[in-house]
Amino acid sequence: MQELTNVSVEFMVFDQKFKVDIPVKTEPIHKIEFLTVLHPLTDLFVDFAVEKSIKEGKTISCKKGCGACCRQLVPITESEVYLLYEALMIMPKKNRNKIQQQFEKAINKLDKAELLELLEDINELTSEELRELGEKYFALGIACPFLENESCSIHHNRPMACREYLVTSPAINCSNPQKGMIDVMPLPNSISVAAAQLDEPLHSNYVRQVPLIFSLWLAEEFPDDSPQIDSVDMLRKLFSRMAKKQIKDEPNKEQ
Ligand code: SF4
């Protein structure tokens, strides 16, 4: 049996210091397994943000059965590519085939719309180019292949970007997003972005984040052979990146 150790982290969240003990394995683990640490951490940060929004009198509009945002361009980390692939591979054959076909249809649609190249270069785009690409992607109406009856069929394994995306504007606005019509709940810090920066690139085009819609193709094209990692070291790097971002965002505040 592998031993666990607690990593204590103190961090600023919306002007308040919080401390958390994160249990991690002392032995090296696979990067996919590290997502079992990252996903609860993401949920914790989201909980802080939800609490703050509610205190400010805002209501979270996202509910089970509303999958409008699941037609957006979803950036995921490279470890999540393989987690989604694993989740797909253990599904009953009938469901798996259906989802694989949906991935294929989506790629064909994106190819026809000449968006594949831009999606491949997602990490090179400016925020304005990324926003434009996101609008074009949404306009194609491609539902995430894991969306079933407007609910996520892999809810437990859903990517960090999906966990972090909540809105306080009316849900109806999400099906026809226009500039300024959607209020995305602000997060104290994004674990998904910090975690993506910890991943080694699969190949030169994929530096940090990859579109979810490429996950099946990527996992098959580049079978996972990443080395095992030290969880304590990864957590140290993760929080150090987040702290640097926080200092940059709030240059006049003491950390
Ligand atoms: S993984 Fe789940 S939550 Fe994320 S976009 Fe797909 S269906 Fe939606």
Which residue from 142, 146, 148, 149 has its CB within 8 A of the most atoms of ligand 1, so it is best to mutate? Answer: 146
| Residues flanking ligand 1, CB < 6 Å | 67, 70, 74, 144, 146-147, 152, 154, 158-159, 162
Closest CA to 164 of 142, 137, 138, 195: 195
Whole-number pLDDT of residue 250: 55
* pTM assigned to the model: 0.89
Please determine, for residue 83, whether its predicted confidence score (pLDDT) is greater than 50.
yes
Which residue from 66, 154, 167 has its CB within 8 A of the most atoms of ligand 1, so it is best to mutate? Answer: 154
Average pLDDT over residues 74-90: 94
Closest CA to 25 of 237, 224, 233: 233
Domain ranges in the chain are 4-249
Calculate ∠ Cα 178-183-185, nearest 5°: 145
Q: How high is the mean pLDDT of the chain?
A: 88
Find the 235 Cα to ligand 1 centroid distance in Å. 25
Whole-number pLDDT of residue 253: 42
Residues near 120 by Cβ (< 8 Å), separated by ≥ 6? 205, 206, 214
Query: Which H/E stretch holds residue 148?
Result: strand 147-148
Residues near 244 by Cβ (< 8 Å), separated by ≥ 6? none
Average pLDDT over residues 58-77: 93
Residue-wise pLDDT for 181-238, tens only, equals: 899 999 988 899 888 877 655 444 334 689 999 999 999 999 888 888 999 999 998 9
Whole-number pLDDT of residue 247: 54
Question: Which residue's CA lies nearest to atom 5 of ligand 1?
Answer: 70
Q: How many CA atoms lie within 13 A of 142 on its CB side?
A: 30
Residue-wise pLDDT for 19-49, tens only, equals: 999 999 999 999 899 999 999 999 999 999 9
For residue 5, what are the β-bridge partners?
24
Which tokens hold the place of 245?
């971002």
Query: Which H/E stretch holds residue 24?
Result: strand 16-25
